[in-house]
Amino acid sequence: MTITQKNELYRYAFLIIIVLATYANTLNNGFVWDDNDVIVENSQLEKLSNIPKFFLSEDRIEVSTGYYRPLTYVSFALDRAIWGLNPVGFNITNLLLHMLVVLIFYRVVAALFKQENLALVTALIFSLHPIVVETVNFHAGGRNTLLCACFALLALFFYIRKKYLPSIICFTIGIFSKEFALLLPAVFFLYDRIISKEKTRWLTYIPYVIATVCYLALRSSAVQKASLLKTINSSDKLWIIPETIVTYLINMAIPTNLKTMYDISIPVGWTSFAWYSTALMALIICAIIFRKRAEISFSICLFLLFLLPVTNIFNLGTAMMADRYAYFALFGFSLALAYFICLAKKPLAVTVLIIVCVFFITIDVQRNKVWSNEITLFTQMTKDAPEMCIGYQNLGYAYYDGQDFTNAEKNLTIAYSKKGLGGSMLVGSASMFLEMNKPQKALSALHLKIKYEPNNPQSYIMASTIYENMGDKTMAKIYHDKAVALNPEIFVMMKKRVLQVTRQSEDLMAKHNLNNAERLLKEALSIDPLYVPALIDMGSLVAEKGDLAKSIHYFNKAVVLEPLNPVPHFNLSKVYESLGKTVESLNEMEQYRRLDASLQKKESSVQRLSH
């Protein structure tokens, strides 16, 4: 082995060790936010035989997401096959992928500029920058980016080496991981014009175009909203493009104000628009002025190019800005910062680099802890975006899942007064308030939903059911009549739907398909939160999943609604027995036997009368 090869191995080892040390405290983090929907509750990931389906459908079969990232779901399925639902395994995969991206980025920069020191400093800055934390910790939002970045960089590396076949293969894998890789041909063009300065035949780009066409064809057949052009935003959001780009740049330069959720104001004032536009133009002018400095002009082009899709040109949903969106753009920023550090004399450059790295690591370790669990994440979200409802709503759900009903009620109530409140959130809140025996709070949520969606009969049906259960027959009839006025058959349809999905869930539970069964039971309870068979089934389901505290809650709710029903008492007896609560178990079993005997006696009397 030559000295050069040894030095290269030492650099690899150094990058690996420092990444492991910085992100070691992520390994015990749990699933959070969309991880539960995308990974934990996604039945498609349970069998590797489902992998071909990922290429023929959207991210989620049950609902239209508009996303098509099949290889990301392949990686989740492989993780599920190896680790089950142990989040540690998924955390390891994300960390390994980030590490791999860092190592490949190091080789790419070295290949681009033939400067090993510049490549090492660039990769080091990128690996430790705090804006990366969200991508590494958030599986549902970050895995696609990590996979795409890995194969996109490989595609660029092979392109630089003029190994076009492996470059095309990696490009194809990249675009099937995330749409960001579609920008790679533009990166190749920039390399050819700014760095290589060789005349490249247009035929060189044709295979990448063919791969893109194949991807778009598959995507159009799999995704309901297949046209990316249809997701382009209206003009009011386009005005925030300069602000978004400049804010990302500021966050990269001074990463002390990073957030789990950014509250972007719309519309943008003229003064603000002018200031941010001027700053953006200054950045573009820098690229022009330093066009002969390939490192600077190329880094600025990378930064702007990879931010373009996430500047709200396309609809990004609630999170109009997020740290994970800037992972690719960070390549450009890291290269520029590394270039300026390397311009200094070695002692000064090393000192500055150490200070920067220590600064970054300190922030990283603290921000990794934010993603430990949903309570820590959503608590931070309420601090980062105090005027948005999403943090309080999600925090309320997290407390509810943990049976902390006091904090659940507190945060769900706060969410009502914040912006961004949606109808679907309100239905979920109403169901939770009902299960917490807070009917008035549930009605408040439904009244708000009616305000947002006055023509949706579901709210009126739920309100009618609640008033009926409260004994207020007048109000129950008023809301009943309003629902019927919107759809004369709605009550019959809803009752049939509740009965149908409850039976389907029972069949799925018998087959041990708990995730899909839970999804159906949640649907049933969102339509009729007081439907006792669904409550009993949900109690049994969560008990089978190991959440005995939550199962007790569902069974007790069923007891309150139907005090003469023996079934929930029997189930409660078994749960208490599992918890080692012998007295409670015996009491519930006694209740069950007494009610069951009374029920059988009544049935016998009815049978004798019928004869």
Q: Are 97 and 147 in contact (CB under 8 A)?
A: yes
Position 234 confidence tier, pLDDT thresholds 50, 70, 90: low
DSSP codes, 127-143: HH-GGGHHHHH-HHHHH
Q: Are 517 and 543 in contact (CB under 8 A)?
A: no
| CB-based contacts of 162, cutoff 8 Å, min separation 6 | none
**pLDDT score of 286:** 80
CA distance 106 to 123: 5
Q: Which of 225-229, 280-284, 499-503, 546-550 has the lowest mean pLDDT?
A: 225-229
Q: Are 537 and 509 in contact (CB under 8 A)?
A: yes
Which tens digits make up the pLDDT trace of 22-48? Answer: 999 999 999 999 898 889 888 788 889
368 or 520, greater pLDDT: 368
Of 442, 396, 434, nearest to 415 by C-alpha is 396
User: Which residue type, as a one-letter code, is found at position 86?
Assistant: N
Bridge partner list, 388: 419
Q: Kindly state the percentage of the chain with pLDDT values over 70.
A: 93
CA distance 137 to 324: 10
Q: What is the mean pLDDT of residues 338-343?
A: 94
Q: Kindly state the percentage of the chain with pLDDT values over 90.
A: 49
DSSP codes, 3-60: HHHHHHHHHHHHHHHHHHHHHGGGTT----TTHIIIIIT-GGGS-GGGHHHHTTS-S-
Q: What are phi and psi of 261, to 5 degrees?
A: -150, 130
Which tens digits make up the pLDDT trace of 514-556? Answer: 767 887 888 788 788 888 999 999 999 889 888 888 889 889 9
CA distance 494 to 497: 5
CA distance 376 to 368: 10
Q: What is the mean pLDDT of residues 165-186?
A: 95
pLDDT at 581 over 70: yes
CA distance 126 to 184: 19
CA distance 38 to 67: 12
CA distance 40 to 264: 30
Could you count the other beta carbons within 10 Å of the beta carbon of residue 126? 25
Token pair listed for 468: 């009926």
Please count the CA atoms within 13 angstroms of the CA of 39 that sit on its side-chain side. 31
Helices (H), 371-472: 374-384, 389-401, 405-415, 423-435, 439-452, 457-470
Maximum separation of any 2 CA atoms in the chain, in Å: 104
Please count the CA atoms within 13 angstroms of the CA of 133 that sit on its side-chain side. 29
Q: Are 20 and 128 in contact (CB under 8 A)?
A: no
Token pair listed for 304: 């702007």
Q: How far apart are the first and last CA of the chain?
A: 97
CA distance 151 to 164: 14
Which tens digits make up the pLDDT trace of 189-221? Answer: 999 988 887 776 778 889 999 999 999 988 888
Q: Are 509 and 499 in contact (CB under 8 A)?
A: no
**pLDDT score of 608:** 54
Which tens digits make up the pLDDT trace of 140-157? Answer: 999 999 999 999 999 999
Report for 98-112, 283-297, 515-529: range of highest mean pLDDT: 98-112
Q: What is the mean pLDDT of residues 256-267?
A: 87
Q: Domains of the chain, with CATH numbers? A: 33-85+142-226 (no CATH), 387-488 (1.25.40.10), 492-610 (1.25.40.10)
Nearest-Å Rg of the Cα atoms of the chain is 28
CA distance 176 to 55: 9
Q: Are 556 and 572 in contact (CB under 8 A)?
A: yes
**pLDDT score of 362:** 97
**pLDDT score of 267:** 67
Q: Are 133 and 367 in contact (CB under 8 A)?
A: yes
Q: Are 68 and 58 in contact (CB under 8 A)?
A: yes
Work out the burial of residue 75: count CB atoms within 10 Å of its CB; fewer than 13 is exposed, 13-18 middle, 19 or more buried.
Answer: buried
Token pair listed for 562: 């139907």
Helices (H), 84-163: 87-113, 116-128, 133-137, 139-160
Bridge partner list, 314: 232
Position of tokens 């996430």? 310
Q: Are 157 and 108 in contact (CB under 8 A)?
A: yes
Q: How many residues does the chain have?
A: 611
DSSP 8-state secondary structure symbol assigned to residue 191: I
DSSP 8-state secondary structure symbol assigned to residue 317: T
Mean pLDDT of the chain: 88
Q: Are 294 and 113 in contact (CB under 8 A)?
A: yes
| CB-based contacts of 591, cutoff 8 Å, min separation 6 | 566, 569
Work out the burial of residue 13: count CB atoms within 10 Å of its CB; fewer than 13 is exposed, 13-18 middle, 19 or more buried.
Answer: exposed
Position of tokens 């082995």? 1
